[in-house]
Amino acid sequence: MERMFLCCRKAQGSQKASCRRAGRMEEALCWIRSSKALVKGCPQSGEVLSILVGFASILVGLGLRPERVSTEPGSNQMKISMVLRRYLPPWRLIGKLILLKAFSLFGGLWFLAQMDQQGVAWAAESGRHSVQMDGAMVLVYQAAPNPKKPYLAELFSPAGVNLLRDSPADHKHHHGLMFAVAVDGVNFWAEDAASGSQVPIGPLKQERIVVDGRAWEVLRQNLRWQNPQGAVMLEEERTLAACRTDQPTATLLSWRSLLRAPEGRSSVQLGGSSYFGLGMRFTASMDIEGRFFNAQGQSGPEATNKARAAWCAYTAKADGKPVTVAVFDWPKNPRHPATWFTMDRPFAYLSATLNLDQEPLTIRAGQPVELRYGVAVWDGQVERAVVEKCYKAWWALGGADPSSSSPQTQLKP
């Protein structure tokens, strides 16, 4: 919203300043006269126009009652009437107000309807985009680098329990659920002066896709991984898709990263520490008395850390409420099954890795590497059989990207 109104301020500029003292009607007219510039200059032009017209309608309604307009020379109402005649089309005054208010009403309703269709609520002032389904919060995505990368800041169980922690004091570079590795020796996991940045290219795109009767809320973002000098080291197409599953009910998130060598580079090499990959930092209350278990029947960090498995799960209490989260490795990922990093002291952490500390991965020009991971969240403690069933269902649904499964319905890309 802050970015939206910065656009307004730039577009209005001297027009608004020139009539700041003229009263509510003149202020309304400033908004009206600025609308053309706003629509051209602001990326959220439709939303801005709805808000602009709404303000103008309110100001007009408060500032003018046509049947009481004074015709005495020099009166404020006479001045308002003269302003109206000068700047508005030659329609009758009542018609002007009715049309303006009707346009404002329907414009605002249209905007709200679009937000409801998408299931996406915008908080542009912080670069965060929250996704809701049926009025319940599902996730919050930090689309703008904070400070050096976009990431999933919050992820909610069906009952509304968030299990992610963003930038704790002990490791400020730990951000909820994040994907980062090293590229040709440049560290994108850390956030010091020598580390790289994941820079968004173009706007975040939102859409709803329905596959086999199941609605997915989808976020798409293009990123350039740049070193501290600004050179592009890696290109990424990132897709996040979320839905609700049943039997039992769970929040299901799919994360897809398509990685390419940038133009002019014959290849790039991914490497880094044993925990580099898709990493998850849990809320503080989940650091205590949690339990790791995996698809191989192993449990505890001693058995699951550095183990290879199709999935790995963690169950603990988030603010006193038991939850279970599992991360799935797509069977077509390089080096499937994934090598997992798990720890529970001094805090709990789970990461799906490509074992890059032991074997770096080369991406050659024209041969992009596609990674897909699933994340499922349940309320309560669930057993291995439930996680395994959800993993197989996720795999059958396209293993992350619902658009790859011949969507039946697609609403406003």
Residue-wise pLDDT for 209-266, tens only, equals 988 788 999 999 999 999 999 999 999 999 999 999 987 999 999 999 999 999 999 9
Q: Which of 297, 287, 301, 306 is nearest to 353 (CA)?
A: 306
Whether residue 73 has a cis bond before it, omega within 30° of 0: no
Q: Sort strands 277-281 and 267-271 into parallel, antiparallel or unpaired.
A: unpaired
The DSSP secondary structure of 284-335, one letter per residue, reads: GGGGSS-EEEETTS-BSHHHHTT-EESEEEEEEEETTEEEEEEEEE-TTSTT
| DSSP secondary structure of 229-297 | T--EEEEEEEEEEEEEETTTTEEEEEEEEEEEPPTT-SEEEEE--TT-EEEEEB-GGGGSS-EEEETTS
CA gap 5, 196 in Å, rounded: 31
What ranges in 168-270 are assigned the alpha helix state H? none
404 contacts 398 by C-beta, under 8 angstroms: yes
Q: Is-contact 286 317, C-beta < 8 A? A: yes
Judge whether 373 and 278 are in contact, CB under 8 Å: yes
What pLDDT, on the 0 to 100 scale, is given for residue 307? 98
**Alpha carbons 144 and 162: distance in angstroms, whole number:** 21
| DSSP conformational letter for 346 | S
The residues, any chain, with a CB within 8 Å of residue 381's CB and separated by 6 or more, are 315, 322, 324
Domain boundaries, the chain: 2-117, 122-411
Share of the chain above pLDDT 70, in %: 66
- Taking the domain 122-411, which CATH number applies? 2.70.98
Cα–Cα distance for residue pair 241/401, rounded to 1 Å: 7
Q: What is the average pLDDT score of the chain?
A: 79
Q: Is the pLDDT of residue 115 over 50?
A: no
pLDDT of 246: 86
The answer to whether 33 and 87 are in contact (CB under 8 A) is: yes
| Cβ neighbours, 10 Å, residue 412 | 9
Distance from CA of residue 248 to its chain's centroid? 26
Helix %, strand %, coil % for the chain, to 5?
30, 35, 35
pLDDT of residue 36: 36
Whether 347 contacts 341, CB under 8 Å = no
SS3 124: coil
Structure tokens at 275: 């925990």
Residues 141/127, Cβ–Cβ less than 8 Å = no
Q: Flag whether pLDDT at 7 surpasses 50.
A: no
Q: What is the pLDDT of residue 58?
A: 42
- 269-327 pLDDT, tens digit per residue, is 999 999 999 999 999 999 999 999 999 999 999 999 999 999 999 999 999 999 999 99
Q: Are strands 136-142 and 128-133 parallel, antiparallel or unpaired?
A: antiparallel
| Residue that wins the pLDDT comparison between 396 and 39 | 396
